[in-house]
Amino acid sequence: MAVTGPETTGTAGTVRTTTGTTAGTTAGITRTAAGTPRTTGGEHTPAGTVEIRELECFLVLAEELHFGRTGQRLYVSQGRVSQLIRALEQRIGARLVDRTSRRVQLTPLGADFLGALRPAYTALRATVENARAAALGVSGPLRIGFQGVFGYGFMDVVGEFEERYPECATRITELPLSDPFGPLHRDEVDTAVVLLPVEEPALVLGPVFSRQPQYLAVSRRHPFAGRPVVDAEELAGSPLVGVAAPAPEYWREVQAPTRTPSGAPVPPGPAVGTLQEGLSLVAANRGVMLLCHPTTEYHHRRDVAYVPVTGLPESALGLVWRADRENARVRAFAEAVAGALD
């Protein structure tokens, strides 16, 4: 089976993979700049030929279950998404996706195809990236996202990494509190430092570090402001500022639990998109907010007090990246973080 056609343009550039073919032409099929098959001799696409772009489109659609969002992620129109999916279904000879005006879902065959395709596609990309990395070494840009505060030696790690790999330029971007994983899924960053937990199937969790006790941010007018410590069970007495979507529900529950360890309900406070929004609401005595210790040390405010909380698990940070975007730069950076902070 020949695998041909353009893959997506990532940090390492556009990748073309061709097996048993000659420069851009496969059994009479020439690839145009947009990846659309164009016949050169009146022949039809062989049944055993697979377009990488069609496979990628199917994988993204299986995640989004929405043609419009799939098009946005692939930087193509919704009509182009439909065209790619139809072409793949024609090659296979059966429907992979059921779509109506209200919903999109995989057929049973589509679900089976997804389970077999995803690891094969990831392995193919990794093979190309590994070959490129071996040829070029660790070089090129590395986009690093982060949540909260870059402290406790993390910037030292970044500096040492740049000294060790001078051909690799890092770019650091702050991630919204309410969207810890979105920039990775949208390929806006290559790797990110996020608050745990991480349960995203498309992401790899690398080194975990900065395990710290949790603190409660309260207004100076709040009764807890003068306390040396607060027990987790006392969270049931004050509205707790939460995190807004699109952060996944399991992640939001850890950052702002809806119940105390004994099961008592915690009254919900406002949901915020950024840390500064949360601290402003705390200062206005609209609720209290759980934060990790480094964040409290960095964000000193005269109108907010930070009180240690007992009875809750420690917070921790983890370095994560997309499995299908892993490359030599990401691996080298993960090794540097693990060696210095793990």
Reported confidence tier of residue 26, pLDDT bands at 50, 70, 90: very low
Residue 279: per-residue pLDDT: 96
Looking at the structure, tell me whether residues 15 and 129 fall in a common domain: yes
CA distances from 283 to 189, 277, 303 (A): 32, 10, 6
Residue 137: per-residue pLDDT: 66
Give me the sign of the Cα torsion angle 314, 316, 322, 327: negative
With 90 as the cut, is the pLDDT of residue 81 above it? yes
Looking at the structure, tell me whether residues 113 and 143 fall in a common domain: no
Q: Which two tokens stand for residue 299?
A: 């964000």
**CATH assignment at residue 269:** 3.40.190.10
Residue 151: per-residue pLDDT: 58
Dump pLDDT digits (tens) for 233-286: 999 999 999 999 999 999 999 999 999 999 999 999 999 999 999 999 999 999
- The structure's pTM equals 0.62
Looking at the structure, tell me whether residues 236 and 106 fall in a common domain: no
Dump pLDDT digits (tens) for 116-171: 999 998 888 877 776 766 666 677 899 999 987 665 578 889 998 998 888 898 99
With 90 as the cut, is the pLDDT of residue 228 above it? yes
Mean pLDDT score, 282-296: 94
Dump pLDDT digits (tens) for 91-123: 999 999 998 878 899 999 999 999 999 999 888
Looking at the structure, tell me whether residues 127 and 89 fall in a common domain: yes
Mean pLDDT score, 292-312: 92
Looking at the structure, tell me whether residues 204 and 329 fall in a common domain: yes
- CB contact at 8 A, 242 and 256: yes
**Where in 190-333 does DSSP place strands (E)?**
191-195, 203-212, 214-219, 230-231, 240-243, 268-272, 289-292, 304-310, 315-322
Mean pLDDT score, 14-18: 36
Mean pLDDT score, 302-313: 96
Looking at the structure, tell me whether residues 198 and 258 fall in a common domain: no
DSSP strand pairing (29-31 vs 37-39): antiparallel
Domain boundary among 107, 135, 163: 135
Domain boundary among 135, 150, 171: 135
Looking at the structure, tell me whether residues 50 and 22 fall in a common domain: yes
Looking at the structure, tell me whether residues 35 and 166 fall in a common domain: no
Question: Domain total for the chain?
Answer: 3
Higher pLDDT, 34 or 86: 86
Domain of 254? Answer: 214-313
Looking at the structure, tell me whether residues 59 and 185 fall in a common domain: no
DSSP-assigned letter for residue 21: -
Mean pLDDT score, 74-78: 91
With 90 as the cut, is the pLDDT of residue 20 above it? no
With DSSP H G I counted as helix, E B as strand and the rest as coil, what are the percentages for the chain, rounded to 5? Answer: 40, 30, 35
Looking at the structure, tell me whether residues 294 and 220 fall in a common domain: yes
Dump pLDDT digits (tens) for 29-66: 333 333 444 433 334 445 567 789 999 999 999 999 99
DSSP-assigned letter for residue 226: G
- CB contact at 8 A, 227 and 307: yes
Looking at the structure, tell me whether residues 190 and 324 fall in a common domain: yes
Alpha carbons within 13 angstroms on the beta-carbon side of residue 261 total 9
Residue 136: per-residue pLDDT: 60
Looking at the structure, tell me whether residues 143 and 291 fall in a common domain: no
d(CA 216, CA 218): 6
Q: Tell me how crowded residue 341 is: count the other CB atoms within 10 A of its CB.
A: 18
**CATH assignment at residue 70:** 1.10.10.10
d(CA 188, CA 10): 10
Q: Tell me how crowded residue 264 is: count the other CB atoms within 10 A of its CB.
A: 13
Radius of gyration for the chain, computed over Cα atoms and rounded to the nearest angstrom? 24
Q: What are phi and psi of 307, to 5 degrees?
A: -120, 130
Dump pLDDT digits (tens) for 328-339: 899 999 999 998
